[in-house]
Structure 1
Amino acid sequence: MALVDEAGQLVAKRRINDDAEGYRQLLGMLAEAGDSPQEPIPVAAETARGLLFACLRATGRKVYSINPMAVARYRERHRVTNPLRITA
Structure 2
Amino acid sequence: MLEVAKSFFGGRLAPAEESPRRRAYQGTLGRITITVRPEGGHYTYVEVATDQVGESELDKLAKRFLAEVHRLVEPTHVMRGAY
TM, length-normalised to structure 2? 0.28
TM, length-normalised to structure 1? 0.27
In terms of fraction of residues, the more helix-rich structure is 1
